[in-house]
Amino acid sequence: MCGIVAYIGKSDATPILLDGLRRLEYRGYDSAGVAIINDGGLVVRKCVGRISNLSELIQRDPPHGSVGICHTRWATHGGVTDENAHPHFDQSGKLALVHNGVIENYQTLRDELIREGHTFKSQTDTEVLAHLVGKHYDAAKGEPSKARLIDALRAALKQVIGTYGIAMIHSDLPDFIVGARRGSPLVLGIGKGENFLASDVSAIVAHTRDAVYLNDYDIACIDRENFEITSLLGGRSGYEVSKVEFSEKDVDKGEFPHYMLKEIFEQPETVRDAMRGRLSLEEATAKLGGLEMTAAELRGIERIVLSGCGTAFHAAMIGEYLLETLAHIPTECEFASEFRYRNMPMTKDTLVFVISQSGETADTLAALRESQRKGHRTLGICNNVASTIARESDGGVYMHAGPEIGVAATKSFTSQLVILTLISLLLGRIRHQSTSEGIRVIEELEELPEKLRTILKLNDQIRDVAHKYSDAKAMMFLGRQFNFPVAMEGALKMKEISYIHAAGHPSAELKHGVIALITPELPSVFIAPEDSVFDKNISNIEEVKARKGPVIAIGTEGCTQLEKVADDVIYIPKCADYLSPILTVVPLQLLAYHLAVKLGCDVDKPRNLAKSVTVE
Ligand code: F6R
């Protein structure tokens, strides 16, 4: 939520900042702004709307200078207005600050500052922080200096309750940018004669692949040649320079019109990458060193809890079926947002997995911390290797899916499912599963990329089906067993990018109430591959058809029964029941995509959403 970029170097800062901001637009796109140090003063441009609006504003009167900060916003405190767009200034107007996070005690601080004579231009929590830093800076005696600004920031941050990733500049100090983080990500990019701060490396990867992922309480000060990292808690802070694994090309759309479509089409490779080097045919098992658990510890697991939000939660739901089927371990899944308020009774041999593409989701991070607080080993399944969840978890498995930029999660979901299958295989094999059963799972897994390629060839057919139903005002998604969570995921994709109301249910639940909604105007999507519950699904389809409801079915190639009952059938290759969600979800992703495009929706940046939800 919200993206920030800061640049100090020898080049004109504005185009570099705007380019970085475009790469962070997935984090929020309500409004955007930039502040540049120019001729001893600060020049600011900000406006509501997308980065393209800011870009147009800037073109009319471009600010020049080689030091600047910028921001793309997902509104939390205060409406979407020009005044609430970042950067925000202190009382003197000499300090500009951009912020990702939430200052929870901003109202108390604001009231206090107003009593002291401060006046505010916006309703944001961020402006309060800018005033607070400015107040401490102005109160300090002496010449303007880096130390004075950092001390002022320290004093302000000590008064603040909440989360922040910030960058700030001061016109008295035209050769420094100061950043800090607590709870919101911030990365320092090291260039040659130039340095950067950003919420995410994708904003700076065009300029450098050397990065320092800052830790909570770090304060970073950058100039053109150097950087310094200290801790809010005192002293210097330890850091490591990492090489960014991906390049600028990986964060481009390439030949695709949208990131979402590109990411859907990447799935044969990302699914392969999720299992690469992790399967041993010889031992008929999976090797997951990142779990950092001995065989004895793995054998001692009595129960598993899986947690995540949104799409990651749907993966957790499928994980529950996978772990119970392949490993015979009692498993439960819980929304991360509920986990810490629920106080789930858990025995000491309960293992917890938190699942998060971004690794920054505030609710999932809170679930991780709560689980650790209670003494449970808590592992992460993350895509972003430098993320807070990846770093704070006691071990885990990376997805290696590459950057996912489309706001709707697609490839991360199928990677999560592969990883949950690997974990289930590993745990099954050290318990009851035979060698031949293990080999069968591996063979099935290895066939997935080719089967995904086959499904992607149906893109045109799926587009036609989507267009046929583009007048629908609502849609139902139904599935059983492994494919019940896929129904929920299909409905989520449809809702978030096409704004068509959709709901996912277990097929059998229809007759317990939902069937009341069935009319000729309400299409139902049945996920009905030829599995152990196929016949039951057919009966449920018949129930819908008897009430004149149109049916789109996802079925297994070669199955002739579906054609007799459904209006449209999309066929996927045959595979084991437990792996079918990795295949059945792809037509649903494409269905939502094509319907949203047909309706003229902004697929990669749906309204009100942001990719990385770093507020609770
Ligand atoms: C849906 C979607 C969201 C995310 C959720 C969790 O398409 O993208 O529901 O799945 O916000 O995000 P991560 O996985 O980053 O924790």
Kindly report the CATH number assigned to the domain that includes residue 589. 3.40.50.10490
Q: Which of 157, 231, 232, 165 is nearest to 203 (CA)?
A: 165
333 tagged catalytic: no
406 lines ligand 1 (CB under 6 A): no
304 located within any domain = yes
396: left (phi over 0), alpha (psi -120 to 50) or beta: left
Q: Is 356 in the pocket of ligand 1 (CB under 6 A)?
A: yes
Domain closes at, from 251, 272, 291: 251
Concatenate the DSSP letters of all residues of 49-102 into one string: S-HHHHHHHHHHS----SEEEEEEE--SSS-S-TTTSSPEE-TTS-EEEEEES-
Choose the residue to mutate in 74, 263, 311 for probing ligand 1, maximizing ligand atoms within 8 Å of C-beta: 311
184 lies in some domain: yes
The structure's pTM equals 0.88
Same domain, 427 and 310: yes
Cα angle, residue 328 at apex, residues 326 and 330 outer, rounded to 5° = 125
- Domain count of the fold of the chain: 3
Give the residue from 211, 227, 251 where a domain finishes: 251
- Both 244 and 260 in one domain: the answer is no
Q: Which of 163, 154, 208, 155 shows the shortest CA–CA distance to 186?
A: 163
Residue 489 Cβ inside 6 Å of ligand 1? The answer reads no
- 272 and 240 in a single domain? The answer is no
Task: Answer yes or no: do 418 and 279 share one domain.
Answer: yes
> Are 170 and 285 within one domain?
no
Whether 465 and 367 map to the same domain: the answer is no
Pocket test for ligand 1, best of 199, 333, 361 (most atoms within 8 A of CB): 361
Q: Is 562 helix (H, G, I), strand (E, B) or coil?
A: helix
| Same domain as 566, residue 449 | no
Query: Does the annotation count 545 as an active-site position?
Result: no
**Domain-embedded: residue 389:** yes
The answer to whether position 610 is within a domain reads: no
Whether 140 and 272 map to the same domain: the answer is no
- Exposure class string for 112-126: b at 16+ Cβ within 10 A, else e: ebeeeebebebebbb
Residue with structure tokens 């107040």? Answer: 135
Q: Which of 394, 423, 456 is the last residue of a domain?
A: 456
- Is 612 a domain residue? no
Nearest CA to 406 out of 592, 545, 260 is that of: 260
**CATH number of the domain that residue 242 is part of:** 3.60.20.10
Name the catalytic one among 2, 382, 575, 601: 2
Q: Which atom of ligand 1 is nearest to the CA of 613?
A: 11
CA distance 221 to 199: 15
Kindly state whether residue 523 falls inside one of the protein's structural domains: yes
Q: Which residues contact 362 (CB under 8 A, 6 or more apart)?
A: 163, 183, 613, 614, 615, 616
Regarding whether 148 and 17 lie in a shared domain, the answer is yes
Establish if 615 belongs to a structural domain.
no
47, with CB counted inside 10 A (0-12, 13-18, 19+), is: middle
Closest ligand 1 atom number to CA of residue 611: 8
3-state secondary structure of 403: coil
Tokens of 206: 């065009």
Same domain, 234 and 86: yes
Q: What is the mean pLDDT of each run of 10 residues along the chain (616 residues)?
A: 94 96 88 95 95 94 96 89 96 97 95 98 96 97 92 96 96 96 93 96 94 94 97 85 85 92 98 96 96 94 97 98 97 94 88 96 94 95 91 95 94 98 97 96 98 98 98 97 98 97 96 93 97 94 95 96 96 97 98 98 88 76
In a domain, 16, yes or no: yes
Cβ of residue 185 lying under 6 Å from some atom of ligand 1: no
Same domain? For 65 and 210 the reply is yes
DSSP conformation class of 578: G
Q: Which two tokens stand for residue 135?
A: 């107040």
Residues 391 and 477 in one domain: no
**Amino acid identity of 339?**
F
Determine the structural domain holding residue 44 and report its residue range.
Answer: 3-251
Nearest CA to ligand 1 atom 11: 310
Residues 6+ apart with CB under 8 A from 70: 4, 5, 6, 17, 18, 20, 21, 32, 33, 34, 35, 87, 98
CA atoms within 13 A of residue 253's CA, in its CB half-sphere: 12
Residue nearest to atom 7 of ligand 1 (CA): 408
Q: Distances in Å between the alpha carbon of 245 and those of 275, 385, 393, 395, 437?
A: 18, 9, 21, 20, 35
387 lines ligand 1 (CB under 6 A): no
Residue type, 310: G
Sign of the alpha-carbon dihedral angle for 84, 90, 91, 92: negative
Give the Å distance between the CA of 298 and the centre of ligand 1.
Answer: 28
3-class state of residue 491 by DSSP: helix
Structure confidence at residue 607 (pLDDT): 87
* E strand segments, 458-567: 474-479, 501-506, 524-527, 551-556
